[in-house]
């Protein structure tokens, strides 16, 4: 393990020139730690406090609110989503429980009739503060998204309004994660790339997040108080023709205390087909990514008894 993580830039959004610093970080490593980003630490603290209550609920309650094949919202059972793909099966076993929430699509919104992935979130009655805690944090992340998207639109040489239209009625979602304490093991989420556009993760004092640089070295992403760790997903990498980097990463808990985290995944509308808008760099051959179809396939293949329907999509796996 490399002792330093100075490759993971800190970008201060209140300092002139932060836009170019952000792009440089996304071109070189695909990870950056944002400070003065506008997301209130109190919103993150409220969400974490509600998560402690959420994962303390009894197993029967969790079972009744578990995700279903037709509705990917609610509890993810402990250890349930260990990937079934051959390259990770049998090693680096995932060991976490989660709770899945999505963009809260209004009940009468016509997009519900266009794509089955839209719908209402599910909330446990015994954690009454959770909906407001989630919505407050998500609203802050959405504001940060709206601040960053124009920077990427300019980089891609796209009109801002065209780029923004791709994020109306988004399939953005968040996973609330609980990693149980381990005294003598290191277990968590296997190495993967994110299949979305960008991901926001509140910096965790417990550590545990690692990324793999281009040399194949795993690097700790050190905690910075109040920072948001942002990383590039495969959709933005594809739009950029491979110039912005979707970097493999993994997370684990090897401490004596439980670890909680809540990554927020920014995803466009279901009918967007992500294709390069810049000339591909040499050797970059990723296929087009139809957002709705790909999202459904990623979620479906999380079930232990499901296998990918074809090899058309990487599904975040490492090859």
Q: What is the pLDDT of residues 12-61, one digit of tens each?
A: 999 999 999 999 999 999 999 999 999 999 999 999 999 999 999 999 99
Each as own residue / partner, the long-range contacts of residues 153-160 (CB below 8 Å, 24 or more positions apart, any chain) are: 155/23, 155/240, 155/244, 156/239, 156/240, 156/277, 156/278, 157/277, 157/278, 158/277
How many CB atoms are located within 10 Å of the residue 181 CB? 11
Q: Identify the band that residue 318 occupies on the pLDDT scale cut at 50, 70 and 90.
A: low
Radius of gyration for the alpha carbons in the chain, expressed in angstroms and rounded: 19
CA distance to 63, 155, 257, per residue, from 264 (Å) = 24, 23, 23
**pLDDT confidence of residue 314:** 61
Choose among 101, 55, 61, 60: nearest CA to 78: 55
Model-level pTM?
0.93
Neighbour count for residue 47 (Cβ, 10 Å): 24
Average pLDDT, integer, range 103-127: 94
The answer to whether 203 and 33 have CB atoms below 8 angstroms apart is yes
Which region, left, alpha or beta, applies to residue 216 given φ > 0 means left and ψ of -120 to 50 means alpha?
A: left
**Band of pLDDT at residue 293, cut at 50, 70 and 90:** very high
Q: What's the pLDDT band for 90 if we cut at 50, 70, 90?
A: very low
In 3D space, the residue among 37, 30, 41, 35 whose CA is nearest the CA of residue 8 turns out to be: 30
Contact assessment for residue 156 and residue 163, using Cβ atoms and an 8 Å cutoff: yes
Q: 209-232, pLDDT tens digit by residue?
A: 999 988 889 999 999 999 999 999
CATH code of 9-300, in short, is: 2.60.120.330
Where do the DSSP E strands lie in 119-197? 173-179, 187-192
Cβ(92)–Cβ(189) below 8 Å = no
CA distances from 86 to 254, 307, 317 (A): 25, 10, 10
Cα(101)–Cα(51) distance, integer angstroms: 13
pLDDT surpasses 50 at 88: no
């Amino acid at each position: 393990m490399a002792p330093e993580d100075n490759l993971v830039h800190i970008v201060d959004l209140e300092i002139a020139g932060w836009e170019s610093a952000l792009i440089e970080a996304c071109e070189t490593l695909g990870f950056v730690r944002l400070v003065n980003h506008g997301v209130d630490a109190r919103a993150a603290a409220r969400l974490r406090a509600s998560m402690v209550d959420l994962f303390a609920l009894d197993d029967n309650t969790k079972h009744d609110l578990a995700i279903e094949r037709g509705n990917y919202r609610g509890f993810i059972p402990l250890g349930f989503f260990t990937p079934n793909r051959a390259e990770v099966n049998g090693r680096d076993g995932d060991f976490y429980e989660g709770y899945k929430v999505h963009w809260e699509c209004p009940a009468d919104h016509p997009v519900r009739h266009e794509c089955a992935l839209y719908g209402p979130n599910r909330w446990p009655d015994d954690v009454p503060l959770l909906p407001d805690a989630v919505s407050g944090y998500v609203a802050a992340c959405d504001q940060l998204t709206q601040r960053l998207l124009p920077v990427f639109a300019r980089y891609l040489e796209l009109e801002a309004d065209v780029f923004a239209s791709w994020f109306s009625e988004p399939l953005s979602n968040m996973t609330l994660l609980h990693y149980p304490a381990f005294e003598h093991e290191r277990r968590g989420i296997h190495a993967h790339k994110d299949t979305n556009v960008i991901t926001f993760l509140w910096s965790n004092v417990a550590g545990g997040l690692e990324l793999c640089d281009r040399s194949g070295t795993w690097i700790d992403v050190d905690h910075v108080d109040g920072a948001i760790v942002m990383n590039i997903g495969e959709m933005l990498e594809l739009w950029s023709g491979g110039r912005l980097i979707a970097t493999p990463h993994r997370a684990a808990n090897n401490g004596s205390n439980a670890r909680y985290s809540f990554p927020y995944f920014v995803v466009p509308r279901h009918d967007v087909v992500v294709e390069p808008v810049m000339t591909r760099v040499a050797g970059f051959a990723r296929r087009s990514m139809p957002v709705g179809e790909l999202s459904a396939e990623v979620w479906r293949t999380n079930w232990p008894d499901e296998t990918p329907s074809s090899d058309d999509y990487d599904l975040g796996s490492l090859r």
